[in-house]
A and B are shown apart, each in its own frame.
Chain A
Amino acid sequence: MQGLIDRLTALLNDGTVARVLGWKKGDMPYNPEPAIFNSAEELKDFVYDGFCGANLSKMMIEATKLEGKTAVCLKPCDTYSFNQLIREHRVNRDNAYIIGVGCRGKLDIEKIKKDAKGITEISGTELDGQEKVTIKTIYGDKEINYTDALLGRCHVCKGKEHMIADETWGESKDTADQERFEEVQKLEAMTAEERFEFFKNELSKCIRCNACRNVCPACSCRKCVFDNTKFDAQQKANVDSFEEKMFHIIRAFHVAGRCTDCGECSRVCPEGIPLHLFNRKFIKDIDKYYGEFQAGKDPEAQSPLTDFTFEDIEPGERG
């Protein structure tokens, strides 16, 4: 990590960038938070470890409007989101200096907390850290394999390559050990009633905190339709408790074809709703009906849902 801080310091000092977008220490050992560092001085709080799951791409929308370049630390999977934002003219590439930071998968604190209550310190989670994560708790020390505590999304890792970067730092690892669409296939195998029950049950936990929307790099509208008085959507009383949850279904439609499957929605959900499943089902269907497509892989590529080719399937045709 020190190497990265040194490099960022150099970039700030030689004027290449005016600020750095990265992560700083949180109030707990496992919750670093995105932060802007305006000087080499401020970088003392900079942190990059296994808990830096947050995708910083979306914050570049505002950051690239500022005077001067902003250096941003992007993990391989974050670069897909960044590319997608370039595609949608939402970030100013010229004002971004991208440091492709290495990643060996990010950690899910909930998995660690299962066996470790009263955490006071966690070590071994850095990029060059150990196979085992050591957790100090008020009840004594615990150990867990790094790979056993990975976020769900890291098991379907898109690969260790950065899709876009001005320079890279650190080694990355492809942590995929699961079939990407395995979970979706399970849903598809259900009957319509079972599936509806499943989602009704999952979505019943939603408290509409909007964390998923706020973190999602595809949800980058200046004003979300759900907050837009033009549609009266806000003024309507819900007929039943599920209607409120249509929010997630509409959101999934809005990001279809643009979602890079970064998994941030599920990571930030305080209720642990597997929100990524909606999006991943769309991705699977797009692959099936329009040929394989990964949003954000190529900022020039047309999204199949907003592009027409003569080879497109016809309505009613099913592959």
Chain B
Amino acid sequence: MQRIGVFVCHCGSNIAATVDVKKVVELVRYEPGVVFADDYMYMCSEAGQEKIIEAIKENKLTGLVICSCSPRMHEKTFRACAEKAGLNPYMVEIANIREQCSWIHKDREEATEKAVILARAAIAKVNLNTPLQEGESPVIKRALVIGGGIAGIQTALDIADAGYPVDIVEREPSIGGRMSQFDKTFPTLDCASCILTPKMVEVNQHPNITLYTYSEVEGVAGYVGNFEVQIKKKARSVDMAACTGCGECQAKCPLGKMGKIPSEFDRGLKNRPAIYMPFAQAVPAVPVIDRENCTYFKTGKCGVCAKICPSKAINYEQEDEIVTEKYGAIVVATGFDIINLDKYGEYAYNESPDVITSIELERLMNAAGPTGGHLERMSDHKQPKDIVFIQCVGSRCDDEKGKPYCSKVCCMYTAKHAMLIKDHWPDTNVTVFYIDVRTPGKNFDEFYRRAVEQYHVNYIKGQVGKVIPQPDGSLMVQGVDLLDNKQIMKKTDMVVLAAAIEPNKGVRKIATMLTASIDNNDFLTEAHAKLRPVESPTAGIFLSGMAQGPKDIPETVSQAGAAAVKVVGLLAKDKLKTNPCTAKCDPMFCNGCSTCANVCPYGAITYEDQLVRGPGVNETRRVAIVNNALCQGCGACTTACPSGAMDLQGFSNRQITTEVDAICQ
């Protein structure tokens, strides 16, 4: 029989205001196994922990139940406290009477009753707890950053500067990400390339950084400290070592002049050859051949690039290559894209070339862009005299076609666009339709006020219902002015849509491979929204940039640094303690059916022929074996096992049913 001590925390008034703490103590005192019960203002405080340690020693306690906040908050604290008093840390159970009780109930009587029930369940469980021993696993001192945009670049640089090797995997032929497409950046209006390209070069030259561009993560195995990742290096068809980046091949590719392949980098506003670098400052400065469009790959004829390449770097025979590398930590920095606008027929994006997205506008205003920085309509190449910006296209949207969240950066970049246009071409009439203008951030509101007050950008509170292309080539914008309470019909030359931001499509696959959780909008979830914002709930996985949620460049860079610090903190350790709550197979009941191995995400289950002896059994049969170093205790096998042979230590089926029984008593 266990000797259990129950400790009920007031958490100041967080718990005590709704739960009658004293009553809980009195009621649990006579539960089976309980020999001691007490309450205290703050159990997690030093004085509170002292109380626990003293009680363990005085009452020879063998198990603890702490009725307090969520185990995610203080389970570690109380386990450490138990260990200090010589108790196995896994003899501690937390009854969450704060988040799951006092915070969500108003009625004191009901809340108190529920607190007692939760405590009773935890007591029932501790009665079945057994001491568990943590193991140790080594840490591979190398990090992987998935995504080579500003978030990935900054994270990699910070980790590399701390002295650890980092690999960046980037899907596109060059690093740089979305930021490399931008013209100027708010609120300082410095040019995006000017601040980004030096960092790209630094990444390329850093002795601790290895770049895998035009590559994708294909598979992830292992666990924190010991990930094994398969990286697919897609065939570039160009020998990276030989290529000097002279650009001859791009210039001579016959498809370049035919204008058939839209440039992804220029968002389809310009065409590119089949052999190409996405942009002039690409890192690495090595082109790729787009095999789907290349004439040589389609017909076997052409081969111009190979003929003219002075370094003989073209290699049509190159094949995709899988590189397997081990890492201690993985950072997801897969970034964002804007939503597909097919569902927004009302804005005529697919009908008129003069209705563009904000990213397209960035390209049109960029000196290195398709028009050399000259703002013009794509239909007739005339400079627009009147421009309408529409905000929240798909953001803050209640219906299914849009996103419920605010994309956060649109208000600021639209103010930037408006000001830049007014600055270059002061006689342009600029109107912005908005729901709200949101400008929290250092120097942000000042920036927006400048657009309104100094540049006289016409801000109209209200939404646009329809954009109608006119026979004369102009666009009719039908909207509403909510402040003046009137309908607006406005003729304009160009419409710019602030399309909602969404996580990059590839993140779903990556999150699945990493078993990192994502939310309803596919943004990666933090381990704790406030206290662990750059960590995934999956140990060893860290978050950087837009993959976690909408944010601007300053915020991305700060978060990238924060993620890097967390990674460095992990890599600095030589050994990690492993979770002893691993699965265990009872060979007496195991069917050897392989169901558990099929569902195990960590490849921790193998089979062997074992001599099984027991009442009425004496035979050699196929049974499951769990590798404790690989098992992460997710419990998938225990629920899949039809015979109940698989059990999770620390969360055994019996412990859980006992808890349920205690609740339903």
Contact = CB atoms under 8 A, between A and B. Distances in A.
Interface of A: 65, 88-90, 220-225, 228, 230-232, 254-255, 302-303, 306-308, 310
A102 B644 CA distance: 38
B344 interface: no
B251 interface: no
B595 A223 contact: no
12 contacts: A88-B593, A90-B591, A90-B593, A221-B642, A222-B591, A225-B644, A230-B586, A230-B653, A231-B657, A232-B658, A303-B598, A310-B512
Nearest to B592: A89
Contacts of A221: 589, 591, 642-643
Residue from B591, B592, B661 whose CB has the most chain A CB atoms within 10 Å: B591
Contacts of A89: 591-594, 607, 622
B644 A306 contact: no
Interface in B605-655: 607, 619, 622, 640, 642-644, 647, 653-654
Contacts, number: 62
Contact of B598 (A220, A222, A232, A302): A302
B588 interface: yes
A105 to B, nearest CB: 31
B23 interface: no
A306 B599 contact: yes
A230 to B, nearest CB: 6
Nearest to A226: B644
A254 B589 contact: no
A271 B116 CA distance: 45
Interface string B566-600: 00000000000000000000101111111100110
A90 B658 CA distance: 32
A159 to B, nearest CB: 26
B593 A223 contact: no
B591 A230 contact: no
Interface residues of B, number: 27
B643 to A, nearest CB: 4
B622 A231 contact: no
A231 B562 CA distance: 46
A223 B640 contact: no
Contacts of A254: 642
A216 to B, nearest CB: 12
B260 interface: no
A251 to B, nearest CB: 10
Contacts of B654: 230-232
Q: Interface residues of B: mostly helix, strand, loop or mixed?
A: mixed
Interface in B225-278: none
B108 interface: no
Contacts of B509: 310
A89 B644 CA distance: 17
Interface string B478-510: 000000000000000000000000000000110
B38 to A, nearest CB: 31
Contacts of B619: 65
Nearest to B594: A89
Contact of B588 (A223, A231, A232, A255): A223
A310 B658 CA distance: 36
Contacts of A310: 508-509, 512
A303 B661 CA distance: 33
A210 to B, nearest CB: 16
B643 A222 contact: yes
Contacts of B642: 221, 225, 254-255
Contact of B589 (A222, A255, A303): A222
A225 B646 CA distance: 12
B598 to A, nearest CB: 4
B644 A220 contact: no
Contacts of B595: 88, 306
A307 B598 contact: yes
A223 B619 CA distance: 15
B644 A230 contact: yes
Contacts of A231: 644, 653-654, 657
Contacts of A303: 598
B303 to A, nearest CB: 37
Contacts of B508: 310
Nearest to A309: B512
Contacts of B653: 230-231
B606 to A, nearest CB: 13
Interface in B100-119: none
A220 B590 CA distance: 11
A88 B640 CA distance: 13
Contacts of B661: 232
B591 A228 contact: no
B640 A220 contact: no
Contacts of A224: 643
Contacts of B644: 225, 228, 230-231
Contacts of B589: 221-223, 228, 230
**Chain A CB within 10 Å, residue with most, of B586, B590, B642, B658:** B642
A223 B643 contact: yes
A48 to B, nearest CB: 31
Interface string B324-353: 000000000000000000000000000000
Contacts of A228: 589, 643-644
Contacts of A255: 642
Nearest to B619: A65
Which 9 pairs, one residue from A and one from B, show the smallest C-beta to C-beta distance?
A221-B643, A88-B593, A306-B598, A225-B644, A254-B642, A89-B592, A306-B599, A223-B589, A306-B595
A65 B598 CA distance: 25
Given A221-B643, A223-B589, A231-B654, 15 more contacts: A88-B591, A89-B622, A90-B593, A221-B642, A222-B588, A222-B589, A222-B643, A224-B643, A228-B589, A228-B643, A228-B644, A230-B644, A306-B599, A308-B512, A310-B512
B511 to A, nearest CB: 11
Contacts of A308: 512, 599
A284 B593 CA distance: 24
Chain B CB within 10 Å — which of A65, A90, A223, A254 has the most? A223
A314 to B, nearest CB: 9
A232 B595 CA distance: 24
Nearest to A257: B595
Contacts of A90: 591-593
A177 to B, nearest CB: 34
A312 B643 CA distance: 26
A64 to B, nearest CB: 12
A83 to B, nearest CB: 14
Nearest to A236: B661
A201 to B, nearest CB: 26
A223 B617 CA distance: 12
Contacts of A302: 598
Contacts of B586: 230
Query: In this complex, which of B595, B599, B647 has the most chain A Cβ atoms within 10 angstroms of its Cβ?
Result: B595
A310 B589 CA distance: 32
A306 B658 CA distance: 27
A301 to B, nearest CB: 12
Contacts of B588: 222-223
B643 A225 contact: yes
A93 to B, nearest CB: 13
A231 B586 CA distance: 13
Interface string B199-217: 0000000000000000000
A88 B622 CA distance: 11
Contact of B640 (A65, A230, A306): A306
A224 B643 CA distance: 6
